[in-house]
Amino acid sequence: MRDEQSRSIRVSHAFLLLFCACALVAAAIGAVSGNSFYLRLATEALILAGLALSVDLLLGYTGALSLGQALYFGVGAYVSALVLLQTASFWLAMSAAGAASLLSAFIGGLIANRVRAVYFTLITLGLSQVIGKVVYNTRELGASDGIIGIPVIDIGIGGWSVSAADPTGFFLVVLVFIVILYGALAYLLETPFGRVLIALRSNEKRVPFLGYSVWRARMIAYVLAGVVAGLSGALYPMLRGFVSPELMSFSMSSNAVVAVLLGGAGTLVGALYGSVLLVVIKSIIGSWTEHHLIVIGALFIWSILFFPRGLMGMIIPYFLKRPSEEQSTVQVPSNVSLSGEAK
């Protein structure tokens, strides 16, 4: 028998297919018209979606809001940039970035998981600011300028080879990559461990009574989220050819949080839609004024006040309702109302 969670994940998969179909159409249009600017922008939206996925794993499933998730995104980006400067190997860069973000998220998790709720949010913010400032002031890492001049690489997948300079090809590579990340997280949430994470969000105090370690579950979720963010970040220098401290900044972290909440926290696919929505709004408004933050901020507040479940959190329950159970008020496990009270 399938429960709420499985069914909502299935609907989420359907929306992922729709998302991919739209992305493929966009890629085809981009390839035919040769408009590389919008393909590059779309690729950036997908990379942001990776960061948003990592925020959603923490916020939407374990109920912990991180305002410093860009830290691991930045770690992935910098490590990938440093590796690419030495050797132009896609797989080496990705595995180095994955390992570095795994290690840093483990250390960060040891620090951040000592506290709960709002203190967790503040400690993640503080951590990312400490490391962000250190990177900003380290001359070996390019200080405030970041690292520029990262060579364009060829990505070898099986027998094929895609150049990162090819907008359509690289867009597809990133799309596949983000879908793999999505799939891995969706699979994880269907395992018993995934249910422990959801239990954390519902009622953290009861989880130990069921025989699970809260700390262990939180730690694993945090490290996984860090790796997802790091791997997404590793794609960034391949796209833009540079990295800068801006990638670890608070605005990067808050962008991801905004994307997750607009798309719908706890729906997984909402993170993807939210990121694309955010980038689309930014570029549409940005074409006639540079003051897009007013609109984003207003939309964000409006969404929290009136649609706290976000875009997907509103759509998915509609597909979950079956005629046979119209009396049950379907509760999709998506809400911004998160973990229990503070200590």
Partner 1 sequence: MELSDYIQFVLMPQVINGLALGIAVTLVALGLTIIFGLLDVINMSHGEFYAIGAFGAISLGALGLNFWVMLALVPLLMAPMGVLAERVLIKRVFNSKDRHVATLLVTLGLSLILEDVLRLVYGPNTHRLDAPISGASEFFGVLVPNYRLLLILVGVGVICAVSFVTYRTRLGAMVRAAAYDRSMTSSLGIPVDWVYAGTFAVGVSLAGLAGVLLAPLYSVFPTMGRDFILLAFSVVIVGGMGSIVGAVIAGLALTQVQALASLVISPVWTDPIVFSAMVIFLMFRPQGLFGRLGHA
Q: Are the C-beta atoms of 247 and 229 separated by less than 8 Å?
A: no
Among candidate residues 225, 199, 193, the one with its CA nearest the CA of residue 339: 199
294 binds partner 1 (CB under 8 A): yes
Judged by CB under 8 A, the stretch of 2-10, 77-85, 219-227, 289-297 that binds partner 1 is: 289-297
Residue 193 and residue 219: Cα distance in Å, rounded? 12
Characterise 268 by phi-psi region: left (phi > 0), alpha (psi -120 to 50), beta (else). left
Q: How far is the CB of 297 from partner 1 (least distance, A)?
A: 3
* Contact with partner 1 (CB under 8 A) among 308, 314, 319, 320: 308
Q: How far is the CB of 118 from partner 1 (least distance, A)?
A: 4
Find the binding residues for partner 1 in span 50-89 (CB under 8 A).
63, 65
106 binds partner 1 (CB under 8 A): no
Judged by CB under 8 A, the stretch of 79-87, 116-124, 274-282, 317-325 that binds partner 1 is: 116-124
18/298 with CB nearer partner 1: 298
Residue 256 and residue 258: Cα distance in Å, rounded? 5
206 binds partner 1 (CB under 8 A): no
* Contact with partner 1 (CB under 8 A) among 57, 164, 207, 336: 336
* Contact with partner 1 (CB under 8 A) among 33, 35, 133, 280: 133
- Six-digit token string for 105: 């998220």
Residue 22 and residue 273: Cα distance in Å, rounded? 11
68/230 with CB nearer partner 1: 68
List beta partners, residue 242: 148
107 binds partner 1 (CB under 8 A): no
Residue 124 and residue 180: Cα distance in Å, rounded? 26
Q: How far is the CB of 129 from partner 1 (least distance, A)?
A: 5
* Contact with partner 1 (CB under 8 A) among 61, 78, 236, 300: 300
b/e for 168-193, b at 16 or more Cβ within 10 A?
bbbbbbbbebbbebbeebbebbeeee
301 binds partner 1 (CB under 8 A): yes
* Contact with partner 1 (CB under 8 A) among 151, 183, 208, 297: 297
Residue 83 and residue 79: Cα distance in Å, rounded? 6
67/224 with CB nearer partner 1: 67
Q: What is the sign, positive or negative, of the torsion defined by CA atoms of 321, 325, 328, 333? A: negative
164 sits in which H/E element: none
Residue 237 and residue 209: Cα distance in Å, rounded? 46
* Contact with partner 1 (CB under 8 A) among 43, 101, 104, 129: 129
- Six-digit token string for 178: 């983000």
Q: What is the sign, positive or negative, of the torsion defined by CA atoms of 297, 299, 301, 303? A: negative
Window 137-176: contact mask with partner 1 (x via CB under 8 A): x---------------------------------------
SS3 category, 342:
coil
Residue 165 burial (CB count, 10 A) = 13
Judged by CB under 8 A, the stretch of 22-30, 183-191, 256-264, 274-282 that binds partner 1 is: 256-264
Which residues sit at the interface with partner 1, rule CB under 8 A? 63, 65, 111, 114-115, 117-119, 121-123, 125-127, 129-130, 133-134, 136-137, 250, 254, 257-258, 261, 291-294, 296-298, 300-301, 304-305, 308, 335-340, 342-343
